[in-house]
Amino acid sequence: MDETTTTIMAALATLPTPQLSNLTRSIFSETLHRRRRLAAVLSSPTLFSLTLHRLHHLSLHDKTLLIARYLLSSLRHLTLKTTTTTNYNSFLRTRDFDAVLLLLHLCEVRQHSPETLEMSPFNQWRLTLRSLYAETLLSFGSIGIGVHNGSLLVPYIETVARCLRFVVIGSGGDVADAVSAVVALPSVVVGGGGGECVICKEEMREGREVCELPCRHLYHWKCILPWFKKRNTCPYCRFQLPTDDLFGEIQRLWSLLVKMSGTGFKE
């Protein structure tokens, strides 16, 4: 088990039992949908040919974007952020969904049995891949929907770890806050001893309406709005809000998992 997988498992171990149970059920449903979709691609000569043709004509950058959007959906699940209103483009059209599922399956086959496709004629790839996939479905079929079954979570988490290796994330640069996240910020009235706005260094007068971030820090609206056009972090504690930037959002959600796990590991 690599460090990424260990970090995710450690993060999930911190969840209360009801949350972990709900997450496991959700992952089971999502995994079942993904497996059925890939099975459909591998069972249809026409659909397989069209999907493989699409992959051949995608640049490396476009393939990375497909995997990144797929990864973002999984990270939202694992961080329990599936109800967020952030308007980032994580939705995959059916043909893109099929393409990324086939791409990940090809990568897995090449990693574990690279000689399989090399020994198989190109026009037999579909049958070869379908046969290999059928073997994985047999093991998946033996897994019940029991909410405490760790064997259900591991394959899902391993796929997330594999995607993270394709999508290089790091500290990166500043990214703007998501518009929907800014709109959702509450306005509160400053009470006694409101303190100083970290941005303009002026005292927040009692009775004035100011912006309150999820981390509970207060700022003048006129100060924080321009700030969020360039950054998605609290100026004081660096708490991260959702962003419309695809890779920035992946970094944010991964950071949440690292923080939950307490490992301090960063991809």
The model carries a pTM of: 0.78
Residues 155, 223 within the same domain: no
Residues 184, 156 within the same domain: no
Please state, in angstroms and rounded to a whole number, the distance separating the CA atoms of residues 18 and 9. Answer: 16
> How many structural domains comprise the chain?
2
DSSP string, 19-81: HHHHHHHHHHHHHHHHHHHHHHHHH-HHHHHHHHHHHHTS-HHHHHHHHHHHHHHHHHHHTT-
Residue by residue, pLDDT tens for the chain (267 residues) are: 688 899 999 999 999 989 888 888 888 888 889 989 999 999 999 999 999 999 999 998 899 999 999 999 999 989 887 544 443 344 578 999 999 999 999 988 888 787 888 777 878 899 989 988 887 765 555 444 444 455 678 888 989 998 998 886 554 566 777 777 888 899 999 887 668 899 999 988 888 899 999 998 999 999 999 999 888 899 999 898 888 888 889 999 999 999 998 866 555
The answer to the question of residue 59 being in a domain is: yes
Asked if 227 contacts 197 with a C-beta cutoff of 8 angstroms, the reply is no
- Domain of residue 208, residue span: 179-228
The answer to the question of residue 266 being in a domain is: no
Residues 126, 75, 157, 9: what is their CA dihedral angle, to the nearest 10 degrees? 180
Residues 195, 88 within the same domain: no
Q: Do you know the residue count of the chain?
A: 267
Asked if 2 contacts 161 with a C-beta cutoff of 8 angstroms, the reply is yes
